[in-house]
Structure 1
Amino acid sequence: MMLELCDVHVGYGPAVVVHGVDLTVPDGGLTAVLGHNGAGKTTLLRAAVGLLRPVRGSVWFDGDDITRLPAHRRVRRGLAYVPQGQQSFADLTAGENLRLVADGRRDGRGRLAQALDLFPALMPLLDRRAGLLSGGQRQQLAIARALITGPRVLVLDEPTEGIQPSVVAEIEHAVLELTGAGLSVLLVEQHVGFAVTAALEFAVLESGRVTATGAGGAGAADEVRAAMAI
């Protein structure tokens, strides 16, 4: 497994939000974490990428215990995180946002070109300030920036939330291309359809606890909806 969370308990100060979660992300596959708002999904991801330290349990990356490794060193190992909110440097152009990550990296320019191949809609927007892009365009930009780091595992937190349907389809297509090319993906989503269909494995989180797990695929959607009571 590329990424493993073992009996992870994590929260904020004395308040534990996630309780005893076990989760795996296979090499070259997608694991989907689903649940309603407040279920603890983002907290779990923040523990995976090193922004929160578990009070109990461990995080493993490609066989190594990285529980105490800071976030920036996890990035160097190949763990990339795209949080909610289509984050970018609003006063920089889209191109400057991308070059900021690419400059100084081995084959950074080549990775930048590959990211633009994956999101061709960004090409005519490279000279536009990121703050003037639509939410969907900023989300594509955020994912492209993460890909330039050359990740082995890409962690996506609600990448389609609040995005126009046409861009949602482009992002979903890009995720499928990435997993098809062998990238491991940990995807948090509220929307069941695409996430479960694309996943090799899924987990449903409720009140910080895993309430259902299983193999992904189109046939699993009804199982997940039943677990989420939707």
Structure 2
Amino acid sequence: MLEITGLVAGYDRSVVLHGVSLTVPEDGVATVLGHNGAGKSTLLRAALGLIRPRAGTVRFDGRDVTRLPAHQRVRRGMAYVPQGQQSFPQLTTMENLRLVADGHRAGRAALAEALDLFPALREVATRRAGLLSGGQRQQLAIARALITRPRLLLLDEPTEGIQPSVVAEIQRTILQLASRGGLSVLLVEQHVGFALRAADEYYVLEAGRVTASGAGDEEAEGTVRRTLSV
């Protein structure tokens, strides 16, 4: 679904990614792990087209989208949930969801599906998003992305700074999404155990370079933890 080859990208004169290559399987999950500052968020932003690469290619569903702007990639089926549980804080939970749903043909049905995935949002439907807990805002951010019926979901640290009970709910939902088909996921995640349970393939990023990769399974956890402990 997504193939990144030899990607070089950064900001102004600073190069953050140095020849990164990875693939996200169709109807599968690829996970990117690494320490803070390794270039994980930059990788997602480059995949979506928010950063123009200096070298390398990005192919989405077999087509070269390297030079396409972000909004055209979104139209082709990408959705991005950045760090920070982003929402419109002055709008209610339901208004945030309807704002996205109203712009899509299957908006009402997709909104109902998103609420089924995150039933806790129904309980805070009339509450302003700015008054929600961090976990509730993260669920709202993911639900909004899913309403667009994406073919590829880019998730940046979806469990960061979230209370443990909600982390479990978000993890369950991501695993459910990954298992039902019709959606590919590129997941940046710090929780190694969850990341590898969710992943068909994993990549460890260090200083903007892929230093380890393989199939996501229980046997990989020891390898990844050793790599990240260096």
- What TM-score results when the alignment is normalised by the length of structure 1? 0.98
Distance of 2:221 and 2:28 partners within structure 1: 18
Q: Which residue of 1 aligns with 2:3?
A: 4
Task: State the AA in 2 paired with 1:193.
Answer: G
Q: Does 1:207 align with 2:210?
A: no
CA contact (8 A) 1:197 1:221 kept: no
Q: Unpaired segments of 5 or more residues in structure 1?
A: none
- Tell me if 1:135 matches 2:134: yes
The whole-number CA distance in structure 2 between the counterparts of 1:79 and 1:7 is 21
Deviations 1:155-198 (A, max 9, x none): 00000000000000100010011111111100001221100121
Over aligned residue pairs, what C-alpha RMSD do you find?
0.8
1:73 maps to 2:72: yes
Q: Does 1:191 align with 2:191?
A: yes
Map of 1:38 onto structure 2: 37
TM superposition score normalised by structure 2: 0.98
Partner of 2:173: 174
Q: How far apart are the structure 1 equivalents of 2:13 and 2:58?
A: 20
Helix, strand or coil for the counterpart of 2:73? helix
1:56-135 paired onto structure 2 within 5 Å: 56-135=55-134
| Distance apart, 1:71 and its partner CA | 0.7
The size of the alignment, in residue pairs, is 229
Higher mean Cα deviation, 133-142 or 179-188? 179-188
Q: Residue 50 of structure 2 corresponds to which residue in structure 1?
A: 51
Deviations 1:71-108 (A, max 9, x none): 11111111000000000000000000000000031110
Matched to 1:64, the amino acid is R
Q: 1:211 Cα shift?
A: 0.5
Give 3-state SS (helix, strand or coil) of 2:35's partner.
coil
1:16 aligns with 2:22: no
Alignment check: 8 A CA contact 1:80 1:153 kept: yes
SS of 1:114's partner is helix
Q: Say whether residues 1:227 and 2:220 are aligned partners.
A: no
Which contiguous aligned blocks of 4+ residues in structure 1 show a shift greater than 3 angstroms? none
Aligned to 1:216: 216
